[in-house]
Structures are given as C-alpha cells and as structure tokens.
Amino acid sequence: MICYLTICNNGFTDFTKNNILNFSNVLDDGNNILKITTLDSHAFSNIDNFLTENKTNINIKNIILDKDFIDISNYETFNSPGFIKIMNKKIDVIIKNLETYDLLHYFDGDVFFLRDPSTIIKHKLENFDIVFQQDSPRTKRNNGWDFPIHSNYVCAGNFSVKKNDKSFYLLNEVKNRLNERQNDQEVLFTYLNSVCKNIKEYPYADLDVYDPEEFQNGYDTFFAGWNMKENKMVVHANYMVGKETKINSLKSIGGWLI
C-alpha cells in the first residue's frame, strides 16, 4: 500500500478535485490511499462537499481528508510570500504522515498520473530511501542547465519516501533550514549542494531519481515535446506560472478531468 499525499488551500481546490478523479481512475487499486491535507477551512469544506457529491462515482473509502490550517486561502503565484509559506508547510505535512505510512508518495496538485506508477515506486523503495522526479530539464542541456541525471536539482513536489531514520534525517535537515526567502525546493537544493556533488554521493540516505521520460518535469513535457513519448507515466505541470496556464497545459495531454 502506498499513501499518495497532497496538500491544498482553497485557491488550489480545482487541482485537488482533479487529483481525486485521477486517483480514482488510475491509482486506486483497492489498497492505495489518497491523503489530502487542506490548509484552510474553505478548502476543507470545498473538498468535503465534492467528495459527498461524487460518492457514487468515487471509492471514497480510500480517500482521507485531513486539515492542518494556516492563514492563506488564495491561489498564490510562484515564489510569492504566500507560496513559500504553503510550500514550507508541506514539509511538516510530509514528516507528520511519514510517521504513519511506511511508503509515501508526495505530489503537488499540478501532477497528473497517466499510468499507475505504484509497482515502480515500490521497487525503487526496496533499494532507496527517497526517490525524486528530476527537475533539471533533460532537453535543456545548455545555458547553465547541463546537469547530470543525478544532479541535486531534484523536485520537492513529486517524490517517494520510505519510512526510516535516514528519510526522517533528510526531511528534518530541510525543515530546519526553511525560511521566508526560499521555497522548500530551493532549500533542498541548497542543502544537498552543501554536502554532496550529486544525490548518489549524499552520505546520510540512499537517494535516486526516476526515469525522466516516465516521470516528466513540465519543461520537458510542455516545452520540449516529451508529451509525445509513449512511455510517459507521470507529468508535473511545473515550469509555468499561473493557474490557467497549468490547467491548459494539463488539458493538452488529457490531464484535466473536471
């Protein structure tokens, strides 16, 4: 069983509704669960009502709605103060849930699962503690972006983690460095760079990345044509700013269900 975990505030609930339908169609094998942590009361009511209205079409027994409120309910643009606060809260939510679930896959709301990666996730976590989507574009190998496949520029918005002391160590190292100027991924990148040249050399846990053609970042998918690759499995609509831009990008690959 894998706990697929995501967070949302009221400004992001359209994406969470899309996540719910995506889980129901692709990830719900009868064992996996979807855990949604809402960050304000409006988001909680909005998603709770959506689940109630769709309970005849969705297996809601495998969906858990939780709350861990902060004082931000609007859609926040990338790296705004509100965005940074939400992303930093995410680390607390992940650590809290990892205390309960042995295998956890955290994903931001703008991630879409075209095919079920659960078998791949389980296999990877047999040998590694944390496995990330690689966020360095594989198709943009110039202008300072020529990062190797195991570079430290990994994604904090789409990764799998196994419950053990090594995973908790890395997550708590990131948590202890969170600040009001950097989002969680920037903190993770800065921390990794301070202790290793690439994630394979990280000394305190066993880290890896997924096949970037299967777990695609938004640049490779939407700007470099990787949306045409038949082996794509999980697509993250990052590398673009604005709610409608993300929605339209997901629509272009059949990834918008509401």
Question: What's the domain range around 64?
Answer: 3-252
What pLDDT score does 147 carry? 81
SS3 content of the chain, % helix, strand, coil (to 5): 40, 20, 40
Q: Tokens at residue 55, please? A: 């309970």
Quick check: 20 and 63 in contact, CB under 8 A?
yes
Which ranges of the chain have pLDDT less than 50?
none
Is residue 257 one of the residues assigned to a domain? no
Strand extents, DSSP E, 163-258: 207-209, 215-216, 234-236
How far apart CA 10 and CA 46 sit, in angstroms, is 8
Q: What angle do CA 88, 91, 96 make, to 5 degrees?
A: 140
What pLDDT score does 145 carry? 62
Per-residue pLDDT tens for 195-240? 999 999 999 999 999 999 999 999 999 999 999 999 999 999 999 8
Is residue 115 one of the residues assigned to a domain? yes
What pLDDT score does 143 carry? 55
Is residue 246 one of the residues assigned to a domain? yes
Residues 6+ apart with CB under 8 A from 173: 191, 204
Is residue 59 one of the residues assigned to a domain? yes
The CATH number assigned to the domain holding 123 equals 3.90.550.10
Is residue 42 one of the residues assigned to a domain? yes
Q: Quote the pTM value.
A: 0.96
Is residue 258 one of the residues assigned to a domain? no
Q: How many domains does the chain have?
A: 1
Written as one letter, the residue type at 91 is I
What pLDDT score does 139 carry? 80
How far apart CA 159 and CA 132 sit, in angstroms, is 4
Is residue 183 one of the residues assigned to a domain? yes
